Amino acid sequence: MPEVKTVFREVLPKKGQLSIEDVPTMILCKPKLLPLKSVTLEKLEKMQMEAQEAVRQQELATKEQLQ
Amino acid sequence: MEVTIDPLFLAWSYFRRRKLQQCADICTKILQDNPYDQDCSLPISEAAWSLKTRALTEMVYIDEVEVDQEGIAEMMLDESSIAQVTPWNKPGWRTQPVTQSGRPITGFVRPSTQSGRPGTMEQAIKTPRTASTARPVTSASGRFIRLGTASMLTNPDGPFINLSRLNLAKYSQKPNLSRTLFEYIFHHENDVKNALDLAAQATEHAQFKDWWWKVQLGKCYYRLGLYREAEKQFRSALNHQEIVDTYLYLAKVYQRLDQPITALNLFKQGLDHFPGEVTLLTGIARIHEEMNNISSATEYYRDVLKQDNTHVEAIACIGSNHFYTDQPEIALRFYRRLLQMGVYNCQLYNNLGLCCFYAQQYDMTLSSFERALALSTSDEEQADVWYNIGHVAVGIADLTLAYQCFKLALAFNNDHAEAYNNLAVLELRKGRVEQSKAFLQTAASLASHMYEPHFNLSILSEKIGDLQSSYTAAQKAEDAFPEHVDTQQLLKQLRVHFAAI
């Protein structure tokens, strides 16, 4: 089996001007760390959810009674 | 022989173990056997009545210091100096995402920091539900609506205490019952007017010498929006007795009166009496943070950590500050600390995932995000996590995955402006100019406070030769972020073009 020899050599231009044109590129929005919630906020949200749930149950119950 | 526990003792025991519902149930039974009468009743029914009010209050108790909900009108008509702090007075912070009002997102969210302040009335009405605002718009239009949730539910047996039939004057004479009753009216029934009546009569009965009633009066005045009255009560209470809570309430009044410097001085006075008190230090740090003075805020949060090294707010804020000042590996240590302390939620794992990725700890990145997804409780959270995974995908140059992630973020939250912007960038790489432009326009209309979509739109328009649109978009980008160098250059270039024509 013929051995494939590939030799890569770095190319460093010794002559001429090496320059990069600064072209404005589109930018991505940054990654977003999520803020942690305070205990009070968590409790508020929990209470809100429970209250909503309770109201829904009550409404369901009254609907069933009407039927 | 069977020994039975005295029911009142059992109820008390339940109360101490915070089994509040059981406690309230037993009290109800005792009260059925020995009806409670305002005029003459047995001590046992009085005790049971008082315990039941306490149990019901504890179920819905919210730390009053933390609660601060503003109505739309207050947010819009607010010209206070904290509201006026322009977000760009601190150079270089724009690497940080911002809230709707153009304020950098901090590491911690409390009821009063939930939404920031919307810039226009239209925004105020239409922006209620983003990642940092869990508050539905209906509750923003009135004050303290959410806090009365317990009172909005109708009890099948009627309310426990019928406030309109209560003889407040009689209760105010009984110091052993009046305090629990006050807290019940204030927290559970959310009826500030009656609470104020009771407090006024009780403080009179105590010959204006009881600091506790003065603080309660102040709380009522604060809720009614009578800040100067509240200030008077709190000051007078402080003369009787130095209490940390009173300092906190008073500082809240000053913040609402637009005197952050007075509030800062007050906190420092408080620290003279209570050296190293964590809540006072946190208060100072919060004010600095709201004034966009992040570096001194961090200093104070560090002081907080010296006193209490498990303070979640301080750790989270310092952590996010490190992340956005290009030190993700240090931020990672702070978030890991939170994990060790037992904080276990979507937000923390998301932040850990991001920190791990940018601190080059790739082994942990994806598993953290997986957990974040598993723990997320709402679509908005899910959307934000997918958005961040998209960034990881961009980082490892897997653009197909990135594309899918941003799409998923949009599937969960159709108003995710950042995801629209990033999708537009990816679309342009694929050469789909029209699609890209459409996404950018959507992003810009959803979040006019961000400069990225405007800037990108400007570049895109310039490339396809639409110089006029490019110029208007660049101007909008400049409005959002005046110090952005690339925008400045682009504007200069365009002006040269126009001059040549």
pLDDT in tens, B16-31: 999 999 999 999 998 8
Chain A: residue nearest B485 by CA? A24
Is B150 in contact with A47 (Cβ distance < 8 A)? yes
Measure the CA–CA gap between B88 and B19, rounded to whole angstroms.
Answer: 50
| Span B447-488, pLDDT tens digits | 888 899 999 999 999 999 999 999 999 999 999 888 889 999
Longest dimension (CA), chain A: 92
Is B97 in contact with A28 (Cβ distance < 8 A)? no
What pLDDT band is residue B135 in, cutting at 50, 70 and 90? very low
Please say whether the beta carbons of B198 and B168 come within 8 A: yes
Of B347, B428, B450, the CB nearest to A26: B428
Mean pLDDT, rounded, for B250-258: 91
pLDDT for res B143: 37
Domain ranges of chain A: 37-66
Measure the CA–CA gap between B9 and B32, rounded to whole angstroms.
Answer: 17
Mean pLDDT, rounded, for B235-246: 94
Q: In this structure, which amino acid lies at residue B455?
A: F
- Computed over every residue of chain B, the mean pLDDT equals 84
pLDDT for res B2: 75
- Residue B133: pLDDT over 70: no
Size of interface A-B (CB pairs under 8 A): 125
Of B343, B387, B425, the CB nearest to A32: B387
Distance from CA of B43 to the nearest CA of A (A): 33
Is B105 in contact with A44 (Cβ distance < 8 A)? no
pLDDT for res B107: 73
Is B486 in contact with A28 (Cβ distance < 8 A)? no
Is A48 in contact with B149 (Cβ distance < 8 A)? yes
Is A36 in contact with B338 (Cβ distance < 8 A)? yes
**What kind and span of H or E run contains B394?**
helix B379-395
| Span A12-30, pLDDT tens digits | 777 777 777 777 788 899 8
Is A38 in contact with B110 (Cβ distance < 8 A)? yes
Q: Say which residue, A19 or B263, is predicted with more confidence.
A: B263
**Any A CB within 8 A of B131 CB:** yes
Distance from CA of B6 to the nearest CA of A (A): 32
Bridge partners of residue B98, in order along the sequence:
B104
**Any B CB within 8 A of A57 CB:** no
What pLDDT band is residue B166 in, cutting at 50, 70 and 90? confident
Tell me the chain B residues in contact with residue A29 when contact means C-beta distances shorter than 8 Å: 97, 417-418, 421-422, 450, 452
B415-500: CATH topology is 1.25.40
Is A31 in contact with B105 (Cβ distance < 8 A)? no
Tell me the chain B residues in contact with residue A41 when contact means C-beta distances shorter than 8 Å: 66, 109-111, 114, 134
Tell me the chain A residues in contact with residue B417 when contact means C-beta distances shorter than 8 Å: 29
Phi, psi of B209 (to 5 degrees): -120, 0
Distance from CA of B146 to the nearest CA of A (A): 7
- Please name the residues between 87 and 126 in chain B that touch chain A, using a CB distance below 8 Å: 95-97, 105-111, 114
- Residue B207: pLDDT over 60: yes
| Span B324-348, pLDDT tens digits | 888 999 999 999 999 999 999 999 9
- Residue B139: pLDDT over 50: no
Measure the CA–CA gap between B23 and B292, rounded to whole angstroms.
Answer: 46
What pLDDT band is residue B292 in, cutting at 50, 70 and 90? confident
Selected residue of A21, A22, A30, A33 to mutate for chain B interface (largest B Cβ count, 10 A): A33
- Residue B184: pLDDT over 60: yes
Residues 6+ apart with CB under 8 A from B374: none
Tell me the chain A residues in contact with residue B106 when contact means C-beta distances shorter than 8 Å: 35
- Residue B81: pLDDT over 90: no
Measure the CA–CA gap between B214 and B272, rounded to whole angstroms.
Answer: 23
Is A36 in contact with B394 (Cβ distance < 8 A)? no
What pLDDT band is residue B39 in, cutting at 50, 70 and 90? low
pLDDT for res B144: 43
pTM: 0.81
- Residue B306: pLDDT over 80: yes
pLDDT for res A19: 75
Q: Over the range B297-335, which residues count as b (16 or more CB within 10 Å of their CB) and which as e? A: bbebbebbbeeeeebbbbbbbbbbbbbbbebbebbbebb
Measure the CA–CA gap between B30 and B273, rounded to whole angstroms.
Answer: 45
What pLDDT band is residue B146 in, cutting at 50, 70 and 90? very low
Q: Where in chain B is CATH 1.25.40.10?
A: 415-500
Can you list the alpha helix ranges (DSSP code H) found in B396-432? 399-412, 417-429
Residue count of chain A: 67
Q: What percent of chain B has pLDDT over 70?
A: 81
Is A37 in contact with B350 (Cβ distance < 8 A)? no
| Span B395-436, pLDDT tens digits | 999 999 999 999 999 999 999 999 999 999 999 999 999 999
Distance from CA of B268 to the nearest CA of A (A): 24
- Residue B161: pLDDT over 90: no
Mean pLDDT, rounded, for A27-55: 86
Q: What percent of chain B has pLDDT over 90?
A: 62
Of A31, A38, A40, the CB nearest to B388: A31
Is B109 in contact with A37 (Cβ distance < 8 A)? yes
Chain A: residue nearest B450 by CA? A29
pLDDT for res B73: 52
Distance from CA of A50 to the nearest CA of B (A): 9
Joined together, the tokens standing for residue B39 give: 């005029």
Of B110, B313, B450, the CB nearest to A29: B450
Selected residue of B21, B110, B357 to mutate for chain A interface (largest A Cβ count, 10 A): B110
pLDDT for res B138: 35
**Any B CB within 8 A of A45 CB:** yes
